[in-house]
Amino acid sequence: MHSVITRKGQVTIPKEIRDHLKAKEGEKVAFVLRGDDVILRMMRGNILDLKGSVKAPKRSQNFEDIRKSVKKVISRRIAREA
């Protein structure tokens, strides 16, 4: 199976793969880099799965620092599951 990259950098996931993954319109996917390979993962957890994964922020910590911490945790989990 293959797909073509559009001018906007978009690709269509072939129907056989969408069916196998039970992927539905509006669901999110993650792209995980492994060397020269890219792994497509369905993002099917919910926000409660992250409970306790980030230490409570210090009062002096700004929102951007908190956001970066959460992104790191999510990235590590996606990479581990791939």
User: Do 53 and 37 touch, CB atoms closer than 8 A?
Assistant: no
For the chain, what is the domain count?
2
The verdict on 53 and 82 lying in the same domain is yes
Q: Taking Cα atoms as reference points, which of 28, 44, 37 lies closest to residue 81?
A: 44
End-to-end CA distance of the chain: 20
The verdict on 36 and 52 lying in the same domain is no
CATH number of the structural domain spanning residue 31: 2.10.260.10
Q: Which residues span the domain enclosing 70? A: 45-82
pLDDT score for 74: 85
Amino acid at 28: K
pLDDT score for 62: 77
The verdict on 51 and 14 lying in the same domain is no
The verdict on 64 and 36 lying in the same domain is no
- 3-class DSSP state of 30: strand
Question: pTM, whole model, 2 decimals?
Answer: 0.52
pLDDT score for 11: 94
**Residue the block writes with tokens 């210090």:** 58
The verdict on 31 and 50 lying in the same domain is no
Q: What is the pLDDT along the chain (82 residues), one digit of tens a residue?
A: 899 999 999 999 999 999 999 999 988 888 888 889 998 888 877 666 666 666 666 666 677 888 888 888 888 888 887 6
